Chain A
Amino acid sequence: MSFSIPKETYSGKLPEITFGSVKKAFFGGESALPFHFFEGAFPHKPLIAFEIQDDVPEDYPEELARVYSSVWEDPVRWAKFCESLGAEAIALRLMSTHPDSKNSKPEQAAQAVKKLISEIDLPMIILGSNHTEKDAEVLPVVADTARGYNCIVGKAQEGNYKTIAASAMAGGHSLIAMSELDVNLAKQLNILITQIGFPREKIIIDPMCSALGYGFEYTYSVMERIRIAGLLQGDSMLCVPMVADVGFYVWKTKETQATEEEIPEWGSLHERAIMWEAVTACSFLLSGAELLIMRHPEAVKTTKKFIEELYGTYRNRNI
Chain B
Amino acid sequence: MRKKWSMLGLILVLILSLALSACSNKSAGGKDGDEKAGEKSNAKDTLIYGRGGDSTSLDPITTTEGEAFKVTENIYESLLTYGDEDTTVQPGLAEKWEASDDGLTYTFHLREGVKFHDGTDFNAEAVVKNFDRWMNGDAEKFPYYTMFGGFKKDEGHVIKEIKATDEKTVVFTLKRPQAPFLKNIAMSPFGIASPAAIEKYGDDLRANPVGTGPFKFVEWKANDRIVLEKNEDFWMEGYPKLKQVIFKTIPENSARLNALQTGEIDLMDGLNPSDLSKVEGDKNLQLFKRPSMNVGYVGLTVTRKPLDNKLVRQALNHAVDKKAIIDSFYGGFAEPAKNPMPPSLEGYDDSVEEYPYDVEKAKALLKEAGFPNGFEMELWAMPVARPYMPEGMKVAEVLQASFEKIGVKAKIVTYEWATYLEKASKGEADSFLLGWTGDNGDPDNFIYTLLDKDSIGGNNYTYFSNPEMHDILIEAQTVTDQAKRNELYKKAQAIVHDEAPWIPLVHSTPMMAGMSDIANFIPHPTGTDLFTKVEFK
Q: Are both chains from one complex?
A: no
Interface residues of chain A, those whose CB is within 8 Å of chain B, are: none
